[in-house]
Chain A
């Protein structure tokens, strides 16, 4: 493989990492509070507000039902408004974030709902405000689950980022399509696939390691 190709692969990897990192971060900034709110606004919960919960849930579901490739082209005007352009790697961060946020919101919601309701009751009995309960009980207790959820979201984002070539976004997926497929360079395709596999493995291991680190609960099977 020529030095030129190797440089292209390195550059594409960095572009993928850039898109995934920024959209993952922005998606978390939006998805975390939305997910927490989805969990605590259910009927009978801490900030019970069934109607708002229902509406928000519908919005999240709607965003999640649009296939990513359709989302990318459907929101081009919005992307232009936010990023100043609708073409390129940076512009691709906009649809990636919009795809990530509702996904992350649902994952966070699930993790929060797993928290033992006895802990909420204990905190209420201490005189905690709903906000204190969220900050000091729900989020810390759900952290292992949230960490695993974010890992899953980042892995999905790596997959989504391969589709942004459709709007001129670059990165590994785009390289694989343009060189590996359209120019029929199977060694490029192979290299792209291998790099993607390695990236996903790394993210997964890192995420699981972090989750273990923050998980102070008893191990589920005690076969130590």
Chain B
């Protein structure tokens, strides 16, 4: 336990396994051999596709799911082996926010934020100032008496955040908290989470399927695929030098650029007979993003490159970009091998005849 304190992990997963019994298929492994430290005071993102096991992993932190084997340690407590009463105590140290907010429709904003304090058995004289404080922190003073049905999605999630902070937790779990929100609202909610992390020194563990969420607020990231953590580290390192194909595919979509319609309409998955062009997505990450690779491709291999779309942005201090290009299909493999050799990521999107 002592070395865990010095390592500064707020949450530790050790050799974690979780299997479910599913009718027809029998035992299904949701998580396998998960080892991960969530450093105290950080915002750590776990990214994965739906069904990758990220939700199961998150729900083990506050004991909503029990591990089949292995341990989950939160602030020195072994969550998986805690009895019912101890588990309820641990849960007061772990706030949670949800994709669909999960607010009580029968309670006002005030009543929803007060609920965890009532549950904790706080005297009502202490509840009022605390709740007023929390509502002010998330900027909803004017809406204290409203019911959730009268609020927008972003406002509901603010109530969710205020409620999650009510018992002064050390850890905040976010279960796809921005997935039901529009991009603009997502930004304001992410900013609120970042502010809370900075002001309260709270550790935030969030799960998401959007790399943009990780890019915007997480200092650390773990990529989960098929129930295993395939890559983990600081967001900076993982983005600059992604090793696992899953990480790469998450990164390739991050700038959100798309093919112009005159190309996408003609795009075929199979290479057609005769002359055709191969459409490739090239992802530039980290240190190699600024190298003039396309010029080199033409000058060194003599392959002409047709640029269809592109965008470059910064992630932390790193430039990060996507280019959509086409090359003569016969020379596609050669061009891709060259680019991969120079640490660019490539993906064939299709062929245009």
Instruction: Give chain A residues whose Cβ lies under 8 Å from the Cβ of B91.
Output: 124-127
Chain A binding surface SS class: helix
Asked, given contacts A137-B104, A140-B106, A214-B106, whether A128 binds B119 with beta carbons under 8 Å apart, the answer is yes
Min CB–CB distance B16 → chain A (angstroms): 19
The CA-CA distance from A136 to B118 in the complex, in Å, is 9
Q: Bound state CA distance, A141 and B119, in angstroms?
A: 16
The distance in angstroms between the C-alpha atoms of A124 and B95, with both chains bound, is 11
Instruction: Determine if B147 and A216 form an interchain contact, defined as CB atoms under 8 angstroms apart.
Output: yes
A185–B148 alpha-carbon span in the complex (Å) = 57
- Contact yes or no, B115 A126, CB < 8 A: yes
Number of interface residues of A (CB under 8 A): 22
Interface of B is mostly: mixed
Residue A197 lies at the interface, judged by CB distance under 8 Å to chain B: no
Interface hits, A108-152 → B, CB 8 Å: 116, 118-119, 121-129, 132, 136-137, 140-141, 143
Residues of chain A with a CB closer than 8 A to B191's CB: none
Q: Which of A121, A126, A217 has the most CB of B within 10 A?
A: A126
Output the least CB separation between A134 and chain B (Å).
12
Does B64 count as interface, using CB distance less than 8 angstroms?
Answer: yes
- B92 and A126 contact, CB distance less than 8 A: yes
A122 pairs with B102, CB closer than 8 A = yes
A1 contacts which chain B residues (CB < 8 A)?
Answer: none
Residues of A within 8 A of B149 (CB): 216-218
Contacts of A121 in B (CB 8 A): 64, 98, 102
Cβ–Cβ contact B119 & A136, under 8 A? yes
Contact with A along B121-154 (1 / 0, CB 8 A): 0000000000000000000000000011100000
B119 touches A126 (CB 8 A): yes
**Complex interface: chain A residues within 8 A of B87 (CB):** 127
Say yes or no: is B50 at the interface (Cβ < 8 Å to chain A): no
**In the bound complex, what is the Cα–Cα distance between A136 and B107 (angstroms)?**
10
Tell me whether B105 is interfacial, beta carbon within 8 Å.
Answer: yes
B106-A126 in contact (CB<8A):
no
Shortest Cβ distance from A217 into B: residue:
B105
Task: List chain A residues, Cβ under 8 A from B90.
Answer: 127
Indicate if the CB atoms of A118 and B147 lie closer than 8 Å.
no
Partner of A141, one of B64, B94, B106, B147: B106
Please judge, given known A-B contacts A122-B98, A136-B115, A217-B149, whether A127 and B88 are in contact too, CB under 8 Å: yes
B81 at interface by CB-CB < 8 Å? no
What CA separation (Å) do A218 and B153 show in the bound complex? 13
Q: How far is the CB of B34 from chain A (nearest CB, A)?
A: 21
B116 within 8 A of A: yes
- B119 and A140 contact, CB distance less than 8 A: no
- Asked if A126 and B107 make an inter-chain contact with CB atoms under 8 angstroms apart, the answer reads no
Within 8 A of B (CB), among A139-174: 140-141, 143
Q: List 16 A-B contacts (CB under 8 A).
A: A118-B98, A118-B100, A125-B62, A125-B95, A125-B173, A126-B120, A127-B119, A127-B120, A128-B88, A129-B88, A136-B118, A140-B107, A216-B105, A216-B107, A216-B149, A217-B149
Sorted from nearest, which 3 A-B pairs have the closest CB atoms? A127-B91, A127-B88, A122-B102
